[in-house]
Chains A and B, each alone.
Chain A
Amino acid sequence: MTSTTPLLATEDVTVSYSGKEALHPTSLSFEKGGVTALIGPSGCGKSTFLRSLNLMNREIPGCRIGGSILHHGKDVNTRGVDTYQLRKQIGMVFQQPNPFRKSIRENIAFAPKRHGLSGKANIDALVEESLRAAALWDEVKGKLDQSAYALSGGQQQRLCIARTLAMHPDVVLMDEPCSALDPIATYSIEETIRDMAKRGICVVIVTHNMEQAARVSDRTAFFLLGDMVEFGPTPELFSRPKDKRLDDYLTGRFG
């Protein structure tokens, strides 16, 4: 029992599509400055769980999220919650790099401007700060007005991270952010993840890659068939799995 409330926690969260439960009651908590990996075979519910944390699942017709999602101790899985405010604080990076079809600068500045940021100096400062945080500034500082599609896949993904960081979120959700990238680009994203954690951001990352989970995360949760099977500090979970199913998964007997 910790004395402080965790930054983000779920209590018996379930997700169902058209009445069919894809995620069974899951209770987890995520700390400030921590990196949590969600692992498991395809279709195990890890992405579904991740997408419920910022209520993105609500955009899918027929999807219901049950249970409580506590952000700073306050349940956000309610009818009255301001999803727009919530998603500013809980950012998300997707599997495929998905920059907007705009310039590099606009990719960062667009959402903050919609949320009320104004003044060229403020915007320029935010663009630089965000790109630096995603380790992209040096590569793109001379071509901010070029299209984001002129960048490589890895750079595009870092631009997407920068875009998320520009909202100053306290949680960043990442859905297999490196699965479309080569090893060098992957390495640089992992650096950025550690960096974000150092600056106090809580990172939750879904990954297929067990080495990646071991490299970047402090804690890991293992999902299987819609159940959260085991949760604990990453080194412990990998070296001394308690659950037989996790042991089988780690030794490659399925999945």
Chain B
Amino acid sequence: MASEETVDGGISYVTKRLRAEDHVATGVLTAIVAAILVVLVAIIGYIVASGASKAFDPHFLSAKPEQFKAGGGIGPELFNSFYLLVLTLLISLPISLGAAIFLTQYAPEGPVTNIAKTAIETLSSLPSIVVGLFGMLVFVLGAGWGFSIISGALALTMFNIPILVRVIQQALEAVPRDQRDAALALGLTRWEATIHILVPAAMPAIVTGVILSAGRVFGEAAALIYTAGQSAPALDFTNFNLASPSCPWNMFRPAETLAVHIWKINSEGVVPDLTAVSAGTAAVLMICILLFNVLARIVGRALERRLTAE
């Protein structure tokens, strides 16, 4: 015991210092993470707690919003948010997948490819209000579609494509090169190797990325204010006349989403229960996005397990 201490004391002047540093670093990092966690949990807890009474109320989730009296719901907004999301993914996913495959598998190294890559990176950090104003100029006014679902979906596509391309590109690049080599060495074409080997191997990462990007699209407001508009006509789910503004599937009707609704009632709302409606909407929006994130993990992990087998 005594001898051990002397040995320890003998070698460990430096060791002790390093150990102390290690403790300090661990402590600081833990404190940072703890602080972030506290803030996050507080925000999420506050939003959910203040909106809970509304967010789990079926009437609030299905009824149409009121203009002047209390008791309105967010039924159309909830539907619009999902409808826009699905449309956006339907448009942006194939384009992004194609672009990412081209950039990782086919594009020759060179100035054109580099410009394309830089452009995509720049676009992915473009402020969404800029995307919204661009959408207003091109789709709402230029194409003459007015404030409509299609204008909103195309604006969101502009907003989503750069992110999706990067996610898919990274997923494809993370597949070991030897998978592609193996396919080519068996006499398969590059296209076969990509579609049958690389994309399936990258699928867990792609699916996770797509769902996470869906969360961003779902919560987006600025890009939609001037494209999908700020009004939500009452929807009649028995109406299949695609030209009617009350037909839910009509792509040329204005469609306020949850995020836009929050923005709008807070900036110009006059209903008496404004605070409650706003809090309830925020809680619904956040719960949806939380569910997206959980879903991303579960699906990603399940796919990964199916592919690699433990």
Q: Measuring CB to CB, which residues of chain A are less than 8 angstroms from any residue of chain B?
A: 54, 56, 59, 61, 83-88, 91-92, 94, 96, 98-102, 110-111, 114-115, 146-147, 149-150, 160, 163-164, 167
Contacts and interface: CB of A to CB of B under 8 A. Distances in A.
Interface of B: 108-109, 176, 178-179, 181-189, 192, 196-197, 200-201, 307-310
A99 to B, nearest CB: 8
A84 B187 contact: yes
Nearest to A55: B184
Contacts of B197: 100
Contact of A146 (B187, B192, B200, B309): B309
Contact of B178 (A86, A94, A163): A94
Contacts of A83: 187
A91 B185 contact: yes
Contact of A111 (B179, B181, B186, B310): B186
B308 A147 contact: yes
- Looking at chain B's contact residues, the main secondary structure is helix
Contacts of B188: 84, 111, 114
Contacts of A150: 309-310
A83 B192 CA distance: 14
Nearest to A160: B182
Contact of A61 (B109, B179, B186, B309): B109
Contact of A167 (B108, B184, B186, B308): B186
25 contacts: A56-B181, A61-B109, A84-B187, A84-B188, A86-B187, A87-B184, A87-B185, A87-B187, A94-B178, A96-B178, A98-B176, A98-B179, A100-B183, A101-B179, A101-B200, A101-B201, A110-B196, A111-B183, A111-B186, A111-B187, A114-B196, A115-B187, A146-B309, A150-B310, A160-B182
Contacts of A163: 182, 186
Contacts of B178: 94, 96, 98
B33 to A, nearest CB: 33
Contact of A56 (B109, B184, B189): B184
Nearest to B180: A59
Contacts of A94: 178, 181-182, 185
Contacts of B189: 84
A92 B180 CA distance: 13
Nearest to B308: A149
Nearest to B200: A101
Contacts of A100: 179, 182-183, 197, 201
Nearest to A115: B187
Nearest to A113: B196
Q: Which of A56, A99, A110, A150 has the most CB of B within 10 A?
A: A110
Closest 3 CB pairs of A and B: A147-B309, A98-B178, A111-B186
B185 A56 contact: yes
Given A59-B181, A111-B183, A150-B310, 6 more contacts: A56-B181, A83-B187, A87-B186, A88-B187, A92-B181, A167-B186
